[in-house]
Structure 1
Amino acid sequence: MPTSTIAAGTTVTTLINHFTVAPERQAELVALLEEATEEVIRHVPGFVSANLHASLDGTHVVNYAQWESQEALEGMWADPAAREHMAAATAIATAEPRMYRVASVHHV
């Protein structure tokens, strides 16, 4: 099974979707995104991985997701079932999705 690998020079497209949410709804948002990923998004062709990060202050959730290509990611956005789940997420949080390529990686 593919895993998240952060490496420069690959064809992987990264989606970083930053959600701003009320602290009392952060857990609800994380659960909703987990459900969407398990039930729909991970089954869309070209999906590689998704990682959810919840801020310690409760006001943000970041989804770091990898796709085989920009076209695969755009295919997910066009999928009606995925759009339904994302509409539920944006009903309780503000989303700021952006596509990225890994420009540089550094390790100890």
Structure 2
Amino acid sequence: MATISADREVFTLINVFTVDPENQQRMYDILCEATDIIKEFPGYLSANLHLSLDGTKVINYVQWRSEADFKAMRDHPDVQPHFAECRAIAQVNPIFCRVEFSHEAPAEA
């Protein structure tokens, strides 16, 4: 389960893929397939995919134990075909960050 918390020191990637609406589902499928490989790398914590309602964006929120773990995965030859597929159908905008604030509504009784 993904946990978004300012109390955890993790490396976070928010990747925004801009696609033509007819490619949104394909982009989602590519990212799901890539996650099946990426989740086996040391330091992987979680991945979450979001689809914009207008069909033009796929947002991937991924957390890693460290930036070094992320870079080791990113440079591995097994993931390169997936990255190439992404670049072929999307404009890719990676945002590297840390969680600074997170708030949850209280649980309902």
Same fold (TM over 0.5): yes
Amino acid at match of 1:100: C
* Residue 81 of structure 1, CA deviation: 1.3
What is the total number of aligned residue pairs between the two structures? Answer: 105
| 2:101 alignment partner in structure 1 | 104
- Secondary structure (helix, strand or coil) at the match of 1:43 reads coil
1:82 and 1:45 map into 2 onto residues whose CA distance is 14
| 2:62 alignment partner in structure 1 | 65
| 2:17 alignment partner in structure 1 | 19
The answer to whether residue 97 in structure 2 is matched with residue 92 in structure 1 is no
* Residue 45 of structure 1, CA deviation: 1.0
Larger Rg: 2
1:99 and 1:83 map into 2 onto residues whose CA distance is 19
| 1:55 alignment partner in structure 2 | 52
- Secondary structure (helix, strand or coil) at the match of 1:57 reads coil
Fraction of identical pairs, as percent: 46
- Secondary structure (helix, strand or coil) at the match of 1:56 reads coil
Q: Which runs of 5+ in 2 are unaligned?
A: none
* Residue 9 of structure 1, CA deviation: 3.0
* Residue 80 of structure 1, CA deviation: 1.0
* Residue 72 of structure 1, CA deviation: 0.7
The 10-residue stretch of structure 1 (76-85 or 49-58) with the greater mean CA deviation from structure 2: 76-85
- Secondary structure (helix, strand or coil) at the match of 2:39 reads helix
Q: Out of 25, 39, 42, which is 2:39 matched to? A: 42
Length-normalised TM-score, structure 2: 0.91
1:17 and 1:81 map into 2 onto residues whose CA distance is 19
1:40-70 Cα deviation digits (max 9, x unpaired) = 1111111111011010100000000010111
The answer to whether residue 67 in structure 2 is matched with residue 77 in structure 1 is no
Cα RMSD (Å):
0.9
